[in-house]
Amino acid sequence: MSVSLNFNLEVRETVRDVAFLHNELFFAAAQKKYPYIYNRDGTELHCLKEHGAVLKLQFLRNHFLLATINKFGQLRYQDVTTGLMVANHRTGMGRTDVMQVNSFNGVVGLGHSCGTVTMWKPTSSTPLVKMLCHHGPLTALAFHPNGHVMATAGMERKIKLWDLRKFDVLQTLPGHSKSLDFSQKGLLAAGTGSFIQVLGDFSSSQNYTRYMTHSMAKGYQIRKLLFRPYEDVLGIGHTAGWSSILIPGSGEPNFDSWVANPFETSKQRREKEVQSLLNKLPPESIMLDPTKIGTVRPSRKREKPTKQDREAEMDEAVEAIKNVSDKKKTKGRNKPSKRAKKRQQMVELAKRPFLEKKMKEEEELSRKKQRIGEEPELPKSLQRFVRKTAAA
């Protein structure tokens, strides 16, 4: 893969964040006043004025949603296929520039200045999860590709790893970080100032240890770290431009050409785009546990039938017995009196289970009343006071 410059666009204003959309042909840029969407040639396609002054951008690939957070703490979701604004939530937690999407379930995580992490979905105006992670402002946030581990960094110079299945701390590491990112194989890169450290879980016990370190040239301040998928490369954005370093074992060595094909032609790319549009998931499918989709909801506990329901059920059973035609028997055994007696016995048999059930319920009710009505037996030293009260 070449790293030659494709195009250079001068917007002549501040660009706070950039995010690719469903493929490399389109990207969104959070500029000074509004976010804009450009194509690969640098042509401006859309100006999203409804979002305002955006600080961070994230794109949900499976749902074709562009999520933004502006300087007033408003979280917006916009469908890039139809242009409709799907959701507009006020976080109520103030300004934040820490935002990351969990690729496992599509939930957006926000890190706030009070040390709290909130997780959002477009169909809920309140956060799905609100957890206190640090005692100071959050500076970085990242999700593991499996969706079950979250890494956070705070101003109190601590990096914490969280288990999102129990919302409990797995590990606390000393250090400060302005940017965090997980690789496809689970390596964690943390950068602050001009220093980068890469942590790895090599024992598969959620115990991260230092794997590699790297120092940039003096004066280079790291802004963002990002692993390149399917390659052992870490991209570094800093105050002097962009750099990359090799991190052995960080990328997935075996790619699936149905998911990401580095050798795809323009025809294959068009077919893949159409297929992804047909498979687009609705916003309602975003939830903390996406494995619940497609499962059967457990049946609720059956409510206790009322007296009228029991009587109606008993009447139906009696009517069913009465409508049964009698068998013709030999002479002397087919008298009307015998037939009426037999039918009466069948009706009593049909009523018996209902009557027995009713008697059991009445006995249980009488036992409960008896338990409630019984006075607790007092010790002998206190029984004389009870007698005096009764006598009075």
3-class secondary structure for 248-262? CCCCCCCCCCCCCCC
pLDDT-based confidence at 390, cuts 50/70/90? very low
In this prediction the pTM is 0.73
Q: Do 259 and 8 touch, CB atoms closer than 8 A?
A: no
Pick from 337, 315, 317, 316: nearest CA to 326: 337
Report, as an integer, the average pLDDT of 161-166: 93
User: Rounded to an integer, what is the distance from CA 319 to the centroid of its chain?
Assistant: 53
Q: What is the structure's pLDDT at 258? A: 80
Q: Do 54 and 88 touch, CB atoms closer than 8 A?
A: no
Q: What is the structure's pLDDT at 327? A: 67
pLDDT digits (tens, 9 = 90+) for 8-40: 888 889 999 999 999 889 999 999 999 999 998
Report, as an integer, the average pLDDT of 258-272: 87
Token pair of 203 as six digits:
């024992």
Q: Is the pLDDT of residue 387 over 80?
A: no
Q: What is the DSSP letter of 51?
A: G
Q: What is the DSSP letter of 142?
A: E
pLDDT-based confidence at 391, cuts 50/70/90? very low
255 against 98, higher pLDDT: 98
Pick from 156, 108, 166, 164: nearest CA to 134: 156
Q: What is the DSSP string of 147-165?
A: SSEEEEEETTTEEEEEETT
pLDDT digits (tens, 9 = 90+) for 37-92: 999 888 999 999 999 999 999 999 999 999 999 999 999 999 999 999 999 999 99
Report, as an integer, the average pLDDT of 334-343: 77
Q: What is the structure's pLDDT at 235? A: 94
Of the candidate ranges 72-81, 183-192, 290-299, the one whose mean pLDDT is the lowest = 290-299
